[in-house]
Each structure stands twice: as structure tokens, then as C-alpha cells.
């Protein structure tokens, strides 16, 4: 996880450059090895069967890449939607508390809620970008729960509003847990990641078994294929870390909620 966090923290162009260079080195080593192990004439004599194999491998691997891309994108979209819903529930909780007749009790809860929302913006989102946790936000959530538990409804109206407050707070806690799970759970299993890399290697090897009169021309064409695969890998890597990557989810919704809460307090 530390290695992944370090890679996520790199400059996007630098990370892309590292992936491309690694792929090009693999292509160069494999190209030199293929030219030494099997002479060019022998490889040219098998270009027809090699072309059939490359087409089959490319089709299968292309379907696999599309499948992984859909999975990672759906997870990213779910994480973004969950973050937006969580912010909306926080605002709904504030409005419910603000309706409570006992304003002294309500004020303590709204202050704790404001502190929690502010902590989400300033503590937990930066922590998730580093793929870590934030004890400050944990304490803020605990304080919010503690203040809500001090509310003592005295009549039917207060009881009904208190039920709404509990429901909103429970939903907020549920969405918060889902967000943390989405931030820390790998979107692709180690088996799928290994299959992804193995498929890329097999595809490149299938391209390298072709026999070509000019070694460097063949190397250039295979390198373009490697760069394309490196680009797809980078996209999957970025989407697979919805809160840590450069295209990651930001606390913009929570910032807007905090702005609304502060404006309502005035």
C-alpha cells in the first residue's frame, strides 16, 4: 500500500513517463532477445500464423481491458455519487436540527456538525489523498454523536423531529463508512492486476514474433503498442484510486454545504 500511495503522489506526467519507459525497456529487451534466439528469416516464414495469433490475443485482451475499464469507472462514479449524497445528508441533518424547538440543545449539535463538516474538508480528504485515516475527523464524528445523544424530547413534536435527526445522522454515518471503504479498498484484486500485466506481456510478445526486414522499424511499431498499453494502465490506475489520484474526488460538495451552514447561522 505504501508503494501505491507513493506512486499516486507522483506528478501525473512523471508517473506516465515511468510507465512508458518501463514498457519501452521491456520491448527493447524482448526485441533483442527475439532477434538473437530466432533468426529473421525463420520469423518471416511464420508471419501468417503469428498474425492470426496476434489478432486473437489482441481481441481477447481488448475485451478484458474493456471489462476492467467499466468496473473501475463504475466504482469511481459510485464513489463520486456517494460523496455527493453524504454532503447532502449532512445539510439535511443540519436543517432537521435547526428545526428542534430547544435551541440550546440544537446549537450544540449544529456546532458539532459544523466542526465535523469542516474536518471532512481539511482533514479527511487530504488524508484519503495520502491513503491514510484522520483521527481528527473520527473525534469530530464521535462528538457529533455525543451531542445528539444529549437531546431529550419533551413532547410529540420534539420526538418526531428527533427521529428525523437520528435517521439523518445514521444515514450520514453509513455513507461515511462507505466512503472510507471506497477510498481504502483496491478496485482490482491482485489476481486481476497480474492478469492485466500478463496480458500486456503476451500481447507484446505476439507482436515481437513477427519477422521484419528492419529491426528498428519493427521496434518502433511495437513501442507504439506498448505506449498505448501504458496509457490505458495509467487511466486504470488513476480511476482505481478515486480519492488519491490527480483526477480524484474533491470535497467540493462539502465545501458548498459548509458555506450554506455558515450562511444559515448568520
* pLDDT score for 266: 65
Residue 137's domain comprises 2-265
Q: Please give the Cα distance from 231 to 234 (Å, whole number).
A: 5
* pLDDT score for 241: 80
Asked if 1 and 240 touch (Cβ cutoff 8 Å), the reply is no
Q: What average pLDDT does range 133-146 have in this prediction?
A: 89
Nearest-5° Cα angle at 9, 7 to 12 = 80
Asked if 166 and 97 touch (Cβ cutoff 8 Å), the reply is no
pLDDT band, residue 12 (cuts 50/70/90): low
Decide if pLDDT at 184 tops 80. no
Q: What percent of the chain has pLDDT over 90?
A: 24
pLDDT band, residue 9 (cuts 50/70/90): low
Total structural domains in the chain? 1
Asked if 141 and 156 touch (Cβ cutoff 8 Å), the reply is no
Q: What average pLDDT does range 20-49 have in this prediction?
A: 73
C-alpha separations of 248 from 20, 43, 77, 156, 263 in Å? 22, 46, 11, 45, 28
Q: Report pLDDT digits (tens) over 208-224.
A: 777 667 777 878 888 88
C-alpha separations of 116 from 85, 111, 146 in Å? 16, 9, 13
* Residue-averaged pLDDT of the chain: 83
* pLDDT score for 209: 75
C-alpha separations of 126 from 35, 69, 90, 122, 181 in Å? 50, 26, 19, 7, 16
Model pTM score? 0.76
214 vs 198: which has the higher pLDDT:
198
pLDDT band, residue 133 (cuts 50/70/90): confident
If we measure between CA atoms, which residue out of 179, 192, 87 comes closest to residue 128?
Answer: 179
Amino acid at each position: 500500500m505504501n508503494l501505491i500511495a507513493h506512486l499516486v503522489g507522483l506528478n501525473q506526467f512523471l508517473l506516465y513517463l515511468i510507465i512508458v519507459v518501463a514498457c519501452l525497456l521491456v520491448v527493447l529487451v524482448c526485441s533483442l532477445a527475439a532477434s538473437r534466439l530466432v533468426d529473421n528469416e525463420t520469423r518471416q516464414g511464420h508471419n501468417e500464423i503469428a498474425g492470426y495469433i496476434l489478432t486473437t490475443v489482441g481481441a481477447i485482451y481488448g475485451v478484458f481491458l474493456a471489462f476492467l475499464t467499466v468496473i473501475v469507472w463504475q466504482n469511481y462514479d459510485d464513489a463520486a455519487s456517494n460523496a455527493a449524497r453524504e454532503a447532502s445528508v449532512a445539510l439535511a441533518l443540519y436543517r432537521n436540527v435547526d428545526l428542534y424547538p430547544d435551541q440550546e440543545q440544537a446549537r450544540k449539535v449544529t456546532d458539532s456538525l459544523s466542526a465535523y463538516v469542516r474536518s471532512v474538508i481539511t482533514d479527511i480528504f487530504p488524508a484519503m489523498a495520502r491513503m491514510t485515516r484522520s483521527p481528527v475527523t473520527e473525534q469530530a464524528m464521535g462528538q457529533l454523536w455525543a451531542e445528539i445523544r444529549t437531546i431529550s424530547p419533551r413532547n410529540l413534536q420534539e420526538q418526531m423531529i428527533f427521529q428525523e435527526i437520528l435517521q439523518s445522522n445514521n444515514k450520514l454515518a453509513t455513507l461515511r463508512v462507505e466512503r472510507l471503504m471506497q477510498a481504502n479498498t483496491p478496485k482490482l484484486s491482485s489476481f486481476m492486476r497480474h492478469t492485466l500485466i500478463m496480458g500486456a506481456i503476451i500481447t507484446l510478445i505476439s507482436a515481437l514474433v513477427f519477422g521484419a526486414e528492419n529491426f528498428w522499424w519493427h521496434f518502433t511499431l511495437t513501442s507504439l503498442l506498448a505506449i498505448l498499453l501504458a496509457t490505458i494502465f495509467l487511466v486504470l490506475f488513476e480511476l482505481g484510486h478515486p480519492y488519491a489520484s490527480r483526477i480524484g474526488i474533491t470535497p467540493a460538495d462539502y465545501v458548498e454545504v459548509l458555506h450554506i451552514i455558515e450562511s444559515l447561522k448568520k
